């Protein structure tokens, strides 16, 4: 999705260029398989439609070169038309058949927009609990939408999904410390930075010092605990849902492996999971093993 402004419509909202190639490229940079190729075409279509909308929302909040708050609010208005009317944006038009086929609710999508609106105002989080509350907006809704796409509605599945999604978000925060800092944001809790003696200026260095490595390791450990607990979700599921969710968990576990291989230095480069590691974790999860 090319989120650079290319003009405005009749009400002054930014116009975005739909770029399927760029969206596909971003899918391949994710830590987990967005939609495994083995899945039936309808499921791949619906998971892809969800990813594209979530990606566009994130890009508006992170990369749009105009008024990001106005752009997000405009997109939220268009998003509402996916349930009542005809949305203008191509990714939302592609989402409409998925909404109708899977009975998707608007509220989780709205939370994703709210998370990005919050990003425009909140750039630091004092405690782990504050960060967890942010993840209820930025990450957990995606998991709940995925469960709905697979027809899973149990409260326990949703609880475990929230753990998995929050963990995946925390792991991504660990990977992206340098990128986020360049954007003026820090998603490591301020309480952890203080405990380990990390100054904000340390996050601008070309390499992570010992204190930064310790705080990243601590945050990854927090995420791994939640991901390990949430992985019980795989055991509750059957069929394609089991396979797809196991793929997401496996991607998170492989990313923790990558962080560990980098010795928690997330400033000299972004640690990326190896496909081999994803497959190893996926196989173990599908056999009923614990992470």
- Residues 50-73 have pLDDT tens digits of 999 999 999 999 999 999 999 999
Residue written as token pair 């630091």: 124
Q: For 195-219, what is the mean pLDDT? A: 98
pTM, full prediction: 0.88
On whether the CB atoms of residues 66 and 168 are closer than 8 A, the answer is: no
* Helix 239-261 / helix 275-286 crossing angle, nearest 10 deg: 130
DSSP 8-state symbol, 85: S
DSSP 8-state symbol, 201: G
Could you tell me how far CA 152 lies from the centroid of its own chain? 20
Write down the pLDDT at residue 20: 54
* Confidence category of residue 38, pLDDT binned at 50, 70, 90: confident
* Confidence category of residue 10, pLDDT binned at 50, 70, 90: very low
DSSP 8-state symbol, 10: T
CA angle 98, 167, 150 (to 5 degrees): 25
* Interval 234-270: pLDDT, tens: 999 999 999 999 999 999 999 999 999 999 999 999 9
CA angle 175, 217, 160 (to 5 degrees): 75
Write down the pLDDT at residue 5: 32
Paired with 2 in beta bridges are: 17
pLDDT at 30 over 70: no
Cα separation, 85 vs 95, in Å, equals 13
* Confidence category of residue 12, pLDDT binned at 50, 70, 90: very low
* Confidence category of residue 96, pLDDT binned at 50, 70, 90: very high
Q: For 185-204, what is the mean pLDDT? A: 98
**143: nearest Cα among 247, 285, 38:** 247
* Interval 131-172: pLDDT, tens: 999 999 999 999 999 999 999 999 999 999 999 999 999 999
Rg for the chain, CA atoms, rounded: 19
Average pLDDT across the chain, whole number: 90
Write down the pLDDT at residue 37: 77
On whether the CB atoms of residues 256 and 220 are closer than 8 A, the answer is: yes
Cα separation, 277 vs 263, in Å, equals 17
């Amino acid at each position: 999705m090319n989120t650079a402004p290319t003009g405005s419509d009749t009400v002054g909202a930014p116009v975005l260029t739909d770029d399927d190639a760029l969206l596909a490229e971003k899918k391949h940079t994710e830590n987990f398989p967005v939609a495994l190729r083995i899945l039936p075409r309808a499921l791949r279509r619906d998971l892809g439609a969800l990813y594209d909308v979530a990606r566009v929302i994130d890009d508006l909040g992170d990369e749009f070169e105009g008024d990001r708050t106005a752009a997000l609010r405009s997109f939220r208005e268009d998003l509402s038309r996916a349930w009542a009317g005809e949305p203008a944006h191509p990714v939302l038009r592609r989402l409409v058949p998925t909404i109708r086929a899977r009975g998707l609710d608007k509220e989780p999508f709205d939370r994703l927009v709210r998370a990005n609106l919050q990003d425009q105002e909140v750039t630091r989080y004092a405690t782990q609990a504050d960060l967890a509350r942010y993840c209820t907006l930025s990450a957990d809704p995606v998991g709940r939408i995925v469960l709905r796409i697979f027809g899973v509605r149990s409260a326990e599945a949703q609880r475990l999904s929230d753990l998995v999604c929050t963990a995946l978000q925390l792991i991504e925060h660990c990977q992206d410390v340098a990128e986020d800092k360049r954007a003026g944001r820090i998603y490591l809790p301020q309480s952890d930075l203080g405990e380990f003696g990390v100054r904000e200026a340390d996050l601008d260095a070309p390499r992570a010092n010992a204190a930064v490595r310790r705080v990243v390791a601590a945050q990854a450990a927090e995420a791994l605990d939640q991901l390990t607990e949430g992985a019980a979700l795989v055991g509750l599921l059957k069929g394609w849902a089991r396979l797809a969710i196991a793929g997401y968990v496996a991607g998170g576990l492989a990313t923790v492996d990558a962080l560990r291989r980098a010795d928690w230095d997330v400033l000299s480069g972004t640690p990326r999971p190896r496909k081999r590691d994803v497959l190893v974790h996926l196989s173990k999860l599908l056999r009923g093993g614990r992470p």
